[in-house]
Amino acid sequence: RLVLGIETSCDETGAAVLDETGTILGQSLHSQKEVHLKAGGIVPPVAQRLHKENISRVVQEALDRSGVTPRDLTAVATTVKPGLALSLGVGLHFSLSFVRQHEKPFIPIHHMEAHALTVRMLQHVEFPFLVLLVSGGHSLLALARGIDDFLLLGQTLDEAPGDTLDKVARRLSLIKHPKCRGLSGGQAIELLAKEGDRLQFQFRSPMGQHYDCNFSFAGVRNQVTMAINKREKQEGIEPGQLLSCVQDIAAAAQHTVASHIAKRTHRAILFCKARGLLPRNNPTLVVSGGVASNGYIRETLRIVTETTGLQLLCPPAEFCTDNGVMIAWNGVERLKEGKGVVSHTREVTYEPKAPLGRDISTEVRDAA
Ligand code: ATP
Ligand code: FE
Ligand code: MG
Q: Is the ipTM of this structure higher than 0.95? A: yes
| Predicted local confidence at residue 9, as pLDDT | 96
Closest ligand 1 atom to Cα of 254: 29
Q: Is the CB of 32 under 6 A from ligand 1?
A: no
Distances (CA, A) of 320 to 84, 106, 201, 296: 19, 24, 30, 16
Proximal ligand: closest to the CA of 135: 1
Q: What does the pLDDT profile of the chain (368 residues) look like in tens digits? A: 999 999 999 999 999 999 999 999 999 999 998 888 778 788 999 999 999 999 999 999 999 999 999 999 999 999 999 999 999 999 999 999 999 999 999 999 999 999 999 999 999 999 999 999 999 989 999 999 999 999 999 999 999 999 999 999 999 999 888 999 888 899 999 999 999 999 999 999 998 888 889 999 999 999 999 999 999 999 999 888 888 899 999 999 999 999 999 999 999 999 999 999 999 999 999 999 999 999 999 999 999 999 999 999 999 989 988 999 999 999 999 999 999 999 999 899 999 999 898 777 777 666 66
204: which DSSP letter?
P
Separation CA 34–CA 37 (nearest Å): 5
Neighbour-count burial for 61-92, b at 16+ CB within 10 Å, e otherwise: bbbebbebebeebbbbbbbbbbbbebbbbbbb
Packing angle of the helix pair 218-235, 246-274 (nearest 10 deg): 160
Per DSSP, helices labelled H in the chain are 33-39, 44-66, 85-102, 111-117, 119-122, 161-171, 185-193, 218-235, 246-274, 295-308, 317-320, 324-336, 360-367
Backbone phi, psi, residue 333, to 5°: -60, -40
Q: What is the atom index within ligand 1 of the atom nearest the CA of 289?
A: 11
Is the distance from CB of 108 to CB of 340 less than 8 angstroms?
yes
Distances in Å between the Cα of 260 and the Cα atoms of 195, 256, 265, 366 are 22, 6, 9, 30
Distance CA 2, CA 343 (A): 19
Ligand 2: centre distance to CA 111 (Å): 6
How far apart CA 297 and CA 254 sit, in angstroms, is: 8
pLDDT score for 37: 77
What residues form DSSP beta bridges with 211? none
Could you give the CA distance from residue 326 to residue 109 in angstroms, rounded to a whole number?
A: 10
208 C-alpha to ligand 2 centroid (Å): 28
Q: Is the beta carbon of 135 within 6 A of some atom in ligand 1?
A: yes
**Single pTM value for the model:** 0.93
Sheet of strand 12-19, all strands in order from the earlier edge strand to the far edge: 24-31, 12-19, 2-7, 75-81, 106-110
- The CA-to-CA distance between both ends of the chain, in Å, stands at 43
pLDDT at 188: 96
CA distances from 233 to 116, 252, 253, 292 (A): 44, 20, 20, 34
Query: Is the shortest distance between the CB of 113 and ligand 1 below 6 Å?
Result: no
Q: What is the DSSP letter of 148?
A: T
Look at residue 244 in the predicted model and tell me its pLDDT. 85
CA of 88 to the centre of ligand 3 (A): 12
* The pLDDT value given to residue 16: 98
The response to whether residue 290 sits with its C-beta less than 6 Å from ligand 1 reads: yes
| Rounded distance between C-alpha atoms, residue 97 and residue 101, angstroms | 6
What's the CA gap between 124 and 327, in Å, rounded? 18
Cα(280) to centroid(ligand 1), Å: 32
| DSSP reduced 3-state for 149 | strand
